[in-house]
Amino acid sequence: MKVLVISPKNKTLFNFRGDLIKKIIEKGHEVTAIGPDKTFIDDVLSLGVKFIEVPFSKDNTSIMGDLKYYRQLKKIIKQECPDVVFNYTIKPVIYGSLAARHAGIKRIYPMVTGLGRLYASNNFKARILRLVTGGLYKYALKGCNRVIFQNTDDLNKFVKLKYVSSEKVVRVDGSGVNMERFLVNALPSENTFLMIARIIKEKGIFEYAEAARIVKKKYPDARFLLLGGYDNSMGAIKPEEIQPYIEDGSIEYLGETKNVVPYLEKARIFVLPTYYREGLPRTILEAMAMARPIITTDWPGCRDAVNHNVNGLLVNPQDSKDLSDKMIHIIANPIQAQQMSKKSLILCQEKYDVNIVNEKMLDIMSIK
């Protein structure tokens, strides 16, 4: 059997889908991956896939650009003749599903890994784009066997808006986390907070920095680490915009890394104050696998993984004061932090282990 994976970004192929791809290959099947460029190509090829480059811009609203992407996908799908197409994120889902259907593929399984900033904003441009995107989703998903979602909010929204019928939808618990890589270690005693995210506005970067500044007035020894790369997409934050928080000691910016494990080992609490329309943030699952209490927003995807006052605390989106209050609470209640730590690990073992998630994915796609 030949499986074709259509990805928006090469890094996600090995970082989010690597274990799934390896599992498919272990079962004796062939995997071809489509990505937008040659970045991280060695990491991608190390999975054992055949790689094909099909450029596109995920933030570009050019009709001609999208049509070109669709035509290139259709041409390659006809050449490759895959038995199964698995595609994820907005443009690969829409144009990959249409291209596969029009190329005669009978088994198409798109995965909605969050709705992005388009569904988080309510300005005029976003509303118009949602109308267009909604129509495209509805047309594209009509020819798919099942549509996979990573959180309950997105699944219910697509059904309510009639983008897809309730009979076709199925939910999985995010992308899963490799618990052999993210090994549990003892909770450090120091009050070290860690946020891992792309440096874009909607991830809650400014809220994190503002909350850190507030907390350090009461707990000057508390540390607030920020790990992640700068971005060129809409909502990107320039280095000089967070420099004041670095200079006054509110946050410590650590740059970007392929291996977040050493940083999670040093952290006592993981924080993600996002208001981006996430699927189910992998960073939260990685922190849970290492038995960390979580502070995150009461927001689609995030609230699927975090039970308030059980394995973490939920805060109001775009509310640095509420975030600082929750940070202060967890510092002042070390016994509760230890209890949340244990609950995070148990929840991860029961629901989010990558082996559990991938078995469900293979079952959905009927890959034996």
Average pLDDT over residues 203-221: 98
Quote the pLDDT of residue 84: 98
- For residue 278, the model assigns a pLDDT of 87
| pLDDT greater than 70 at residue 60 | no
Q: Are residues 172 and 43 in the same domain?
A: yes
> Are 236 and 88 found together in one domain?
no
Looking up tokens 């198409």 gives: 108
Whether residue 16 sits in one domain with residue 163: yes
Q: What pLDDT does residue 184 have?
A: 95
Residues 150-174: tens digit of each pLDDT? 999 999 999 999 999 999 999 999 9
On whether both 126 and 207 belong to a single domain, the answer is no
Say if residue 61's pLDDT is above 80.
Answer: no
Decide if pLDDT at 59 tops 70. no
- Has residue 182 been placed in a domain? no
Q: Strand, coil or helix: what is 177?
A: strand
Tens digits of residue pLDDT in 4-46: 999 999 999 999 999 999 999 999 999 999 999 999 999 999 9
State yes or no: pLDDT of 218 exceeds 70.
Answer: yes
Q: Give yes or no: residues 170 and 196 share one domain.
A: no
* Residue count of the chain: 368
| Residue 187 within any structural domain of the chain | no
pLDDT band for position 110 (50/70/90)? very high
pTM for the model: 0.93
Residues 176, 180, 184, 190, CA torsion sign = negative
Instruction: Give pLDDT tens digits for 176-188.
Output: 999 999 999 999 9
Q: What percent of the chain has pLDDT over 90?
A: 92
Query: Residue 365's pLDDT is what?
Result: 98
Task: Give 259-310 pLDDT, tens digit per residue.
Answer: 999 999 999 999 999 999 989 999 999 999 999 999 999 999 999 999 999 9
The DSSP line for 294-327 is: EEEESSTTHHHH--BTTTEEEE-TT-HHHHHHHH
Residue 184 lies in a domain: no
321 assigned to some structural domain: yes
Whether 20 and 150 map to the same domain: the answer is yes
Is position 99 within any domain? yes
Check if the beta carbon of residue 17 is closer than 8 Å to that of residue 7: yes
Alpha helix (H) ranges present in the chain? 10-15, 18-26, 41-45, 63-80, 90-102, 124-141, 152-160, 205-218, 239-247, 261-266, 282-289, 302-305, 320-332, 334-347, 354-364
Do residues 133 and 37 share a domain? yes
Q: Is residue 130 part of a domain?
A: yes
DSSP per-residue codes, 228-252 = --B--STTBPPHHHHHHHHHTTS-E
Question: Distance between CA atoms of 123 and 127, rounded to whole angstroms?
Answer: 6
| Mean pLDDT over each residue of the chain, to the nearest integer | 96
The residue segments making up the domain with residue 341 are 192-352
The count of structural domains within the chain is 2
3-state secondary structure 20-51: HHHHHHHCCCEEEEEECCCCCHHHHHCCCCEE
Q: Are 65 and 56 in contact (CB under 8 A)?
A: yes
- Parallel/antiparallel/unpaired status of strands 223-227 and 252-253: parallel
Q: Is residue 185 part of a domain?
A: no
Q: pLDDT-derived band of residue 2, with 50, 70 and 90 as boundaries?
A: very high
Task: Mark whether 140 and 203 lie in a shared domain.
Answer: no
Residue 365 near residue 86, CB atoms below 8 Å: yes
How many Cα atoms occupy the beta-carbon half-sphere of 320 within 13 Å? 13
Q: Are residues 110 and 226 in the same domain?
A: no
Residues 229 and 342 in one domain: yes
Close Cβ partners of 127 (under 8 Å, ≥ 6 residues apart): none
Q: Which of 197, 150, 175, 178 is nearest to 290 (CA)?
A: 178
pLDDT in the model for residue 339: 98
Q: What percent of the chain has a predicted confidence (pLDDT) above 70?
A: 99
Specify the CATH number for the domain of residue 332.
3.40.50.2000
Per-residue pLDDT at 124:
85
Residue 204 region, left (φ>0) first, then alpha (ψ -120 to 50), else beta?
left
Residue 186 in domain = no
| 53 and 163 inside one domain | yes
Are residues 17 and 130 part of one domain?
Answer: yes
71: its two tokens: 């035509």
